[in-house]
């Protein structure tokens, strides 16, 4: 499958769970035929139960609901939580689940890191936001700064086709997907944005997302802003950023002020030297943990999705991004990121770069090359075909009343 640019879409930027969850829950509440959800993390907390409630309600009124959940990112959902959904008819699958070894998760590599929701083939959501309370600003200083988009228009059909073709066949036979002869009016041309759905897999689309970043940097003329939680790309992308800056493009990079992986901070010092001395402006975000994966160029190009710019996302994981050509959307994202820079970031200048010493250089070089070659080393390990394990409903399910479900899972207020 290969997607092409689609015209006439309406794209709305959603910042953090505060905007994302109410929009998603409203769309699911309006669903008439089908809801498909893929995500890396779904926690059994307040937000997780709210999502549970809206999906359960949809399934009980006859909507077909399918969930694909990563087996590494979400290993601890209780049987009660899952069985209530499967008993109501929700098709609930885990992507490549594995048993724990000495209490530790062993299935770290080649994860299903996408975050996609499709509702009735008329509305889709793509981004980096998982389903947990830590994506709400009310969570406090550790709340994640993140983004997603709500999409309406022809590109939704591409997203729906992708999702359906990547799910296994149902018990009744082989899965088929085809465009309906009569599309609902909402799906015709509700906006003016041009959009392209892109993804990364371990087969024919290994470098699609990275390739679009490289093309964007090569074509940029005035400004590029990249905000990425885990920034440790390959040399090609680093060179493209530096080359853009050297030809006069204003290149801004927003990264985490305090990476949660120590070796990333050590390796990043080498990147800081290379980029800052090449003219790239680096801003460390310090207000909260940064989890976003967004970028823009000039006054028309933008992307929002699940893909970090690190070895796991660019070389191993399954990822999905939406690329948007639209001046209004570009300006909305630009205003948001510039506000982060002005209010919550510290710029890395030459005086902040680590002093040159054999010790600092040696540590940075070792960390840099370990992180860069890590995916190749993992690639030498014996590959396997990931399994999708469907959760079967219990033989005698304990059915909850609607009142109890609503009591346990209060809805997010919009």
**Catalytic pick among 83, 135, 144, 293:** 293
Which distant-in-sequence residues (6+ apart) come within 8 Å of 170 by Cβ? 91
Name the pairing type of β-strands 123-127 and 319-325. unpaired
Burial label for 386, CB within 10 Å (0-12, 13-18, 19+), is middle
What is the rounded CA–CA span in Å between residue 145 and residue 74? 20
Of the candidates 257, 19, 242, the residue with the CA atom closest to the CA atom of residue 127: 19
**Catalytic pick among 120, 146, 158, 310:** 120
Of the candidates 289, 320, 412, 305, the residue with the CA atom closest to the CA atom of residue 21: 412
Contact between 368 and 267 under an 8 Å Cβ cutoff? The reply is yes
What is the rounded CA–CA span in Å between residue 251 and residue 238? 12
Burial label for 195, CB within 10 Å (0-12, 13-18, 19+), is buried
Residue 75: half-sphere exposure toward Cβ, Cα within 13 Å: 15
**Catalytic pick among 57, 83, 113, 144:** 113
Q: Is 298 a catalytic residue?
A: yes
**Catalytic pick among 298, 299, 300, 344:** 298
Terminal CA-CA length for the chain? 37
Q: Is 34 a catalytic residue?
A: no
Of the candidates 30, 191, 25, 196, the residue with the CA atom closest to the CA atom of residue 120: 30
**Catalytic pick among 52, 135, 252, 291:** 291
Q: Is 299 a catalytic residue?
A: no
**Catalytic pick among 57, 83, 115, 325:** 115
Q: Is 115 a catalytic residue?
A: yes
Q: Catalytic residues, which ones? A: 113, 115, 120, 291, 293, 298
């Amino acid at each position: 499958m290969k997607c092409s640019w689609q015209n006439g879409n309406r794209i709305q930027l959603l910042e953090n769970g505060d905007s994302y969850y109410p929009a998603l829950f409203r769309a699911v509440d309006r669903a008439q035929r089908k809801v498909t959800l893929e995500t890396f993390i779904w926690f059994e907390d307040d937000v997780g139960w709210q999502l549970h409630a809206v999906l359960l309600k949809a399934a009980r009124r006859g909507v077909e609901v399918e969930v694909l959940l990563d087996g590494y990112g979400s290993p601890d959902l209780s049987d009660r939580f899952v069985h209530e959904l499967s008993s109501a008819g929700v098709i609930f699958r885990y992507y490549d689940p594995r048993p724990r070894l000495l209490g530790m998760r062993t299935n770290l590599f080649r994860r299903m890191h996408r975050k996609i929701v499709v509702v009735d083939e008329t509305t889709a959501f793509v981004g980096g936001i998982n389903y947990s309370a830590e994506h709400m600003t009310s969570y406090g200083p550790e709340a994640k700064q993140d983004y997603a988009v709500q999409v309406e228009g022809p590109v939704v059909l591409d997203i729906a086709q992708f999702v359906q073709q990547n799910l296994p066949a149902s018990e009744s036979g082989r899965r088929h997907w085809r465009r309906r002869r009569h599309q609902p009016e909402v799906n015709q041309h509700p906006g003016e944005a041009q959009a392209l759905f892109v993804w990364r897999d371990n087969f024919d689309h290994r470098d699609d997302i990275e390739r679009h970043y490289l093309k964007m940097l090569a074509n940029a003329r005035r400004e590029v802003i990249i905000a990425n939680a885990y920034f440790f790309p390959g040399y090609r992308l680093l060179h493209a950023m530096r080359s853009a800056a050297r030809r006069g493009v204003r290149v801004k990079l927003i990264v985490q002020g305090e990476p949660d992986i120590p070796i990333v901070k050590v390796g990043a010092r080498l990147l800081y030297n290379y980029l800052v001395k090449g003219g790239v402006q680096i801003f460390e975000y310090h207000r909260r943990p940064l989890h976003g994966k967004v970028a823009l160029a000039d006054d028309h190009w933008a992307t929002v999705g699940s893909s970090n710019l690190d070895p796991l996302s660019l070389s191993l994981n399954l990822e999905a991004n939406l690329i948007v050509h639209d001046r209004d959307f570009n300006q909305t994202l630009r205003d948001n990121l510039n506000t982060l820079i002005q209010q919550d970031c510290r710029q890395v200048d030459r005086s902040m770069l680590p002093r040159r010493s054999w010790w600092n250089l040696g540590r940075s070089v070792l960390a840099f090359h370990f992180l860069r070659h890590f995916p190749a080393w993992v690639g030498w390990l014996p590959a396997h075909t990931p399994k999708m394990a469907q959760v079967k409903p219990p033989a005698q399910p304990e059915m909850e009343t609607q009142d109890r479900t609503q009591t346990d899972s209060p809805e997010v207020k919009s």
